[in-house]
Amino acid sequence: MQLYNTLSAEERAIMIDDAGKQRLTLSFYAYAKIQDPQKFRNDLFIAWNALDALGRIYVAHEGINAQMSVPAENFEAFRETLEAYDFMKGIRLNVAVEQDDHSFLKLTIKVRHKIVADGLNDDTFDVTNIGVHLKAKEFNEILDDPNTIVVDFRNHYESEVGHFKGAITPDVETFRESLPIINEQLKDYKEDKNLVMYCTGGIRCEKASAYFKRQGFKNVYQLEGGIINYAKQLKEEGLESKFIGKNFVFDNRLGERITDDIISQCHQCGKPCDNHTNCENDGCHLLFIQCDECKAAMENCCSTECLEIIHMPLVDQVRLRTGKQVGNKVFRKGKSENLKFKHSGDLPETALATAQKQADIRQKIKVKKVLLGKAEHYYVKAQVGQFTVENHELNSGDKILISGPTTGDQELVLDKIIVNGAETQSAKIGDKVTFEVPFRIRLSDKLYKIVN
């Protein structure tokens, strides 16, 4: 039986759009003793694939850690697949604050040594002896206690765009780095201070709280359900948010807004911005913050070096990467000398700007369409867009749709197209096509042909 994906992300995105049904982005975790993680993984894949559930899931002998997208109409059926296991009966599902039908485009379930890479030897402490769980109201109250030390157990690129006021925000790239650093920083406060911790969904604090109790901390607390659940309770109970900014999330959204405050800057020009992106150069793929203006000027790249590389023939790009180990920049989360306005460690709590509200963040498309390709460049003065045709054919006279999270959905009829530098009537797979566009396009935009 097939237990893996066969559709590309682009094909899945089209299927989601064509279905026109709401999807819910959610996350959950559970620590439990799983005797056969591989069988557990396979059983979940079969059950979830049948429900059109997508996501990134890790399973191990110690439990499960999942971030997923589920059709709203299948939500209860999905919950039933979880509660078929005793250790997941009544499990809390952290439903995202902001929904996006494209948050996940594949179902990936991997068996790992651990569900969170913490670097700890679990035999040296009782992983079930965890800290006191606090709901949003209780968390706000303990933050007001002058005897409290609050620690952010996320990584620097997460805390940079949003964090709790007064929190210690370690300058680390991984969870395992933060544990000994925090232990050393707080070694003199084990007896009398409230050690209060938080993370995105709660899973890192679950293990960290047990670890710090073993280190001798007497008063250990953790935010129940993490920032995601905190934001949900704020809305339900009308509470004040002591979190400022945006919550980084590990799906295609790369963040969900908790408050309208922008506290970070574009890493290239310094403009107030909290939108993460990955460098367009596949040999770099650096995660960094980039505003729309720099995205257009740098074509989604983190540096002029990467900008030059993406314009090389693909065979030359592959040659540059061949045989190289992961370097200092590749896949590192915002650690590059090219990023002039990067901040980590002690972070500001003053807003630099206010985010513009979006009417609808879901990328729903109401028309029948087929994916043609993606945006490559926008010539500002000429108001001309360039696209690469990756599927089907494009012809003069076709009705098209340009769609993206910032651009929205824009329909056009093509009067004239330029293909590989010459005016012609049609473009085929692999061609570079340019045409007039009466609005700015971005590299995240997709080109579709409307067929109905």
- Residue 39 and residue 46 in contact, taking contact as beta carbons nearer than 8 Å: no
Catalytic positions are 199
- pLDDT tens by residue, 383-414: 899 999 988 899 999 999 998 877 888 999 99
Average pLDDT value for residue range 186-213 = 92
**CA 339/CA 266 separation, integer angstroms:** 9
Pick the range with the lowest mean pLDDT from 118-127, 191-200, 354-363.
354-363
Helices and strands (H and E) in the chain: how many: 11, 26
- pLDDT tens by residue, 299-328: 999 999 999 999 998 888 888 887 665 444
Residue 164, SS3 per DSSP: strand
| Residues forming beta bridges with residue 197, ordered by sequence position | 151, 222
**CA 321/CA 445 separation, integer angstroms:** 26
**CA 150/CA 275 separation, integer angstroms:** 25
**CA 229/CA 443 separation, integer angstroms:** 33
**CA 255/CA 90 separation, integer angstroms:** 27
**Structural domains of the chain sorted by starting position, each given as residue range(s) with its CATH number in brackets:** 9-111 (3.30.70.100), 369-450 (2.40.30.10)
Beta strands in 72-224 (DSSP E): 94-95, 107-111, 132-134, 148-152, 162-164, 194-198, 219-223
Q: Where are the alpha helices (DSSP H) in 60-194?
A: 75-83, 136-143, 156-159, 175-185
The mean pLDDT of the chain is: 88
pLDDT (0 to 100) of residue 327: 45
Q: Where are the alpha helices (DSSP H) in 215-266?
A: 226-237
Which H helix or E strand runs over 214? Answer: helix 203-214
Rg (CA), the chain: 24
Report if pTM > 0.75: no
- Residue 54 and residue 105 in contact, taking contact as beta carbons nearer than 8 Å: yes
| Residues forming beta bridges with residue 402, ordered by sequence position | 410, 447
| Residues forming beta bridges with residue 409, ordered by sequence position | 403
CA nearest 278: which of 261, 263, 264, 295? 295
- pLDDT tens by residue, 327-340: 444 445 556 777 88
First-last CA distance in the chain: 36
CA nearest 237: which of 139, 132, 358, 148? 139
**CA 254/CA 351 separation, integer angstroms:** 20
